[in-house]
């Protein structure tokens, strides 16, 4: 690991190891990659020299020569929304022993930035791309189509994918939640969620929710949207505002668990009869809910699982397995957890 005293700060090359060990560059390369037959003695000599010098191979040169890159581009909207770190965690763990490494890019929910990040990533010729959502700019879509590597669009299956797709149907999720709420006898329902110009999944959930209500001949009584700030306290504020405006509501559907949890805490404090007089539900199934005084109804969005599956698809395809056709679309089924905030008749 130590560097020689006459240290020039020039990064070490294969040649340095070759000279230090008296073995050709080619054989050094073979040893370092565990490829081809090398005698045990040469092997040891090379490894010893490499270790002693503190040689770190240059993957840039390696990638250029071999046309192989062990990087998987992952493009997500944000780190702030708890959901995406969880997806990354799933990707990261599934990639663990594949020799592949995730490289993360963030779009901040901006299609322009998504385009830039994607371009940037593709310029590193990754072994695959995992990207959140099905909605992309025309250019971004064209890049994905021509990337020449596996592309997995994640989180959402409601739409047309470029290649493989792993996610849930947010439209159906919304619809199912509506059905569960109606089945429980609630009728005067309010919706609280994010402003969603670019949050297509939240939008689809709301659309599905509205469809579910419409099928039962009812429609939303009130809606409230927010952006920015602490979701928990936003949930409180919005709930207070909505109940002040529409005191006769008997159900509040939140577009995510954090604002739902805020609303729940507010309702409990105010002494509302939950779930008798007022029912509540969120979305995502965040672990956080387990610690609340009473469990918010929610739906698991299968975040880690989506990450894992997507990474597996990339890994399999990258390893040369064919199967381009089999796993085009993987739809996971989120399950409603009634918790303590939807009454059972």
Token code pair at residue 91:
């990707």
**Binding segment toward a second copy, per CB under 8 A, in 99-107, 242-250, 273-281, 323-331:** 99-107
Task: Tell me whether strands 101-106 and 71-76 are parallel, antiparallel or unpaired.
Answer: parallel
Q: Read off the tokens for 277.
A: 């007089």
Which of 5, 6, 9, 247 is the binder for a second copy (CB under 8 A)? Answer: 9
> What is the contact mask toward a second copy in residues 254 to 293, using x (rule: CB under 8 A)?
----x--xx--x---x-----------------xx-xxxx
List the one residue from 56, 244, 322, 345 that touches a second copy (CB under 8 A). Answer: 56
Distance CA 63, CA 98 (A): 17
CB-CB contact of 249 with 275 (8 Å):
no
| Residue (31 or 278) nearer to DNA, CB | 31
CA dist 131 and 9 (Å) reads: 38
Q: How far is the CB of 20 from DNA (least distance, A)?
A: 13
Nearer to DNA, 14 or 165 (CB): 14
* E strand or H helix at 169: none
DSSP of 214-250: HHTT---SEEEEE-SS-HHHHHHHHHHHHHHH-TT--
Residue 160 contacts which entry, DNA, a second copy, none (Cβ below 5-8 A, type-dependent): none
28-57: contacts with DNA (CB under 7 A): 29-30, 32-33, 35-39, 41-43, 57
Tell which residue, 296, 234, 230, has the closest CA to residue 268.
296
Q: Which residue has the tokens 């190891």?
A: 17
CA 280 to chain centre: 26
Supply the angle between the helices 40-53 and 14-21 in degrees, to the nearest 10.
Answer: 120
Stretch that binds DNA, among 19-27, 137-145, 259-267, 290-298 (CB under 7 A): 19-27
Residues 1, 2, 65, 244: which binds DNA (CB under 7 A)? 65
Toward DNA, which CB reaches closer, 149 or 274?
149
Total site size for DNA, rule CB under 7 A: 32
| Residue ranges binding DNA (CB under 7 A) | 10-15, 23-27, 29-30, 32-33, 35-39, 41-43, 57-58, 61-62, 64-68
């Amino acid at each position: 690991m130590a560097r020689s005293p006459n240290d020039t700060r020039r990064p070490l090359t294969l040649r340095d190891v070759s000279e230090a060990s008296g073995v050709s560059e080619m054989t050094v390369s073979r040893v370092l990659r565990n490829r081809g037959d090398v005698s045990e003695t040469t092997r040891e000599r090379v490894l010893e020299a490499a270790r002693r010098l503190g040689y770190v191979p240059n993957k840039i040169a390696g990638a250029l020569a071999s046309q192989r890159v062990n990087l998987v581009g992952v493009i997500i909207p944000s780190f702030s929304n708890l959901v995406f770190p969880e997806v990354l965690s799933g990707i990261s763990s599934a990639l663990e022993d594949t020799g592949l490494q995730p490289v993360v890019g963030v779009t901040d929910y901006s299609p322009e930035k998504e385009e830039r990040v994607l371009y940037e990533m593709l310029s590193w010729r990754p072994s695959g791309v995992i990207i959140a959502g099905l909605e992309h700019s025309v250019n971004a879509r064209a890049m994905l189509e021509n990337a020449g590597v596996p592309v997995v669009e994640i989180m959402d299956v409601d739409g047309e994918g470029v290649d493989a797709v792993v996610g849930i149907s947010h439209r159906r999720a919304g619809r199912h939640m509506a059905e569960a709420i109606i089945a429980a006898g609630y009728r005067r329902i309010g919706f609280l969620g994010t402003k969603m110009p670019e949050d297509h999944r939240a939008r689809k959930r709301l659309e599905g929710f509205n469809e579910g209500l419409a099928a039962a001949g009812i429609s939303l009584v009130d809606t409230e949207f927010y952006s920015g700030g602490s979701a928990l306290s936003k949930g409180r504020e919005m709930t207070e505002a909505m109940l002040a405006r529409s005191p006769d509501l008997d159900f509040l559907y939140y577009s995510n668990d954090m604002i739902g949890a805020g609303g729940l805490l507010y309702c409990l404090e105010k002494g509302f009869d939950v779930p008798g007089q007022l029912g509540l539900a969120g979305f995502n199934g965040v672990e956080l809910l387990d610690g609340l005084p009473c469990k918010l109804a929610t739906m698991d969005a299968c975040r880690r699982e989506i990450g894992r599956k997507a990474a597996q698809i990339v890994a399999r395809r990258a390893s040369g397995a064919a199967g381009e056709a089999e796993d085009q679309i993987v739809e996971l089924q989120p399950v409603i957890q009634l918790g303590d905030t939807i009454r059972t008749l």
